[in-house]
Structure 1
Amino acid sequence: MEVESTERMKKVHVKPINIWEDFFKDKTHGGHRYSTEEFLALEAREKLFHLDGGKTLLDFGCGSAELLTYYAPKYEKLVGVDFSPSMLREADKRIKEKGCNNIDLILANHETLWDHLQFPFDRITAAGVIQYLTFQEIDAFIANASKYLNPDGKIVFFDVLDPRLYPLWKLGLFAPKAGVLKALYRIWCDLWYSISATLKNRPRNIYGFSHNPYKLQEIANKHGFEMRYVQSMYYEYKYHAIMFRT
């Protein structure tokens, strides 16, 4: 599929290769807990703290640029990448509204984006998107990212589903009024959604895969990176994986 370029959106040949690209192809907003600008600003501030500087940034899975526009004042040049055409249309609108002239957008997935980059980056990040990749795809992503990362650069995966905490969240145990009845109700809803999704040929779980941080650390070490992980401030069942060269 070939898309028309805008002032910021580059022409890239990309076609859906998995169920997630098909699922998100017409979505217009990311999966943030709240969509208010106040919350987005707080979430971006936390992520900027962990990004910790740099002048150039690549954001894979940028969605509708809800965080990317908050990153923009801190960087000289930013590139947002997403495999959803509808998300990038919303991103382009938001970038224009916010007057962020230092952001370019690319329509591509985790495999095709590397052929369209023109310079290396100080920071390569992905927020709430790594759960849609398998460990094998994450391995390949880190290998490719390392080729486009400046010597003192970092790769940061934000909001990765923690397999140790995610099941507890699904049961509602982090909710203000947690209890047995609420947990049983969540189990029933999850079962019903799974059945309905199967019948409609949709993903059974829109949150994707949960990834053990120690497995991510193993992959990072394989490619010459140290990795530390920290708990997300705004999502009890997610963590951030911060990778840097030794």
Structure 2
Amino acid sequence: MSKPKSVWEEFFADRRSGGHRSSAEEFISREAKEKLFHLDGGKTLLDFGCGAGELLVYYALEYERLVGADFSASMLDEADNKIKARKCENITLILADDKTVWEKLDSSFDRITAAGVVQYLTDEQVDNFISHASGYLNKGGKIVLFDLLNPRLYPLWKIGLFSRDFGFKKVVHKIGFEVHSVVSASLKNRPKDILGYTHNPFTIESIANKHGFEMEYVQSMYYEYKYHAIIS
């Protein structure tokens, strides 16, 4: 008997694109450039939750060897198409989640990163991820978690505070819609938001400290309600 899929595995089962604000190549390239700045070097990289490989193919220009991991076969299929189209021969893809990825690795890395992934992990799962990642990190390496949902800013984004056409009527409408969504999700015993969980920066920092790391908090340039956790 196969194990039941999580709600996230079900959601991403047939998807073929990531959750970027824009799929335009110009935007993805700028987003990748920001992330490469925070990754700050190294020669080998594990991109956990690489999705359709939108960022991975840009990382490949700066790293000698890369591994992209994701639990969605359809996403990895799309990533494979991108990799072949760009002739990125330094990338290996593996099908794995946050629990199984470690047993499928055969080497350590200078950088371990995840972009737009931590929102699908609970605090306990983040703790386990950082704990396992520390065992696959080379000396002087970094774990960089990109685009975490900020619990202080995310609700403001949800009601449209950052939108260009922000207005009282629209805010009231959005609040009503969000309340309905929360109640509906609760009745169906599903997550209240398909974007996942928010994570307090101080909670992530305390987890990092627990495992002997320091954490730097950086606001995302392209998502007003997200932040990056640079763990070293």
TM-score interval, normalised by the smaller of the two chains: over 0.9
Partner of 2:201: 213
Q: Tell me if structure 2 keeps the 8 A contact 1:128–1:158.
A: yes
Instruction: Give the gaps of 5 or more residues in structure 2.
Output: none
Partner of 1:98: 86
SS state of the match for residue 214, structure 2? strand
Q: Does 1:77 align with 2:65?
A: yes
Deviates more, 1:198-207 or 1:144-153: 198-207
Tell me the distance in 1 between the aligned counterparts of 2:3 and 2:81.
Answer: 23
**What is the TM-score when the length of structure 2 is the normalising length?**
0.95
After superposition, the Cα gap between the structure-2 partners of 1:197 and 1:79, relative to the gap in structure 1 and judged at 3 Å, is same
**What is the TM-score when the length of structure 1 is the normalising length?**
0.90
1:184 to 155, 164, 172: 172
Tell me the distance in 2 between the aligned counterparts of 1:226 and 1:185.
Answer: 41
Q: Does 1:138 align with 2:143?
A: no
Tell me the distance in 2 between the aligned counterparts of 1:235 and 1:75.
Answer: 25
Percent of residue pairs bearing the same amino acid type: 62
Task: Map 1:100-179 onto structure 2 (within 5 A).
Answer: 100-179=88-167
Instruction: Give the gaps of 5 or more residues in structure 1.
Output: 2-13
Superposition RMSD on alpha carbons, in Å?
1.8
Report Cα offsets for 1:53-104 as digits up to 9, x if no partner. Answer: 0000000110000000011010000000001111011111111111111101
Report Cα offsets for 1:147-203 as digits up to 9, x if no partner. Answer: 000011000000000001001101100111212211111122324444665677764
1:206 positional shift: 1.2
Partner of 1:9: none
Partner of 1:27: 15
Tell me the distance in 1 between the aligned counterparts of 2:87 and 2:178.
Answer: 41
2:44 to 52, 56, 67: 56
Q: Tell me if structure 2 keeps the 8 A contact 1:23–1:202.
A: no
Tell me the distance in 2 between the aligned counterparts of 1:102 and 1:16.
Answer: 34
Q: Does 1:65 align with 2:56?
A: no
Aligned residues: 232
Partner of 1:8: none
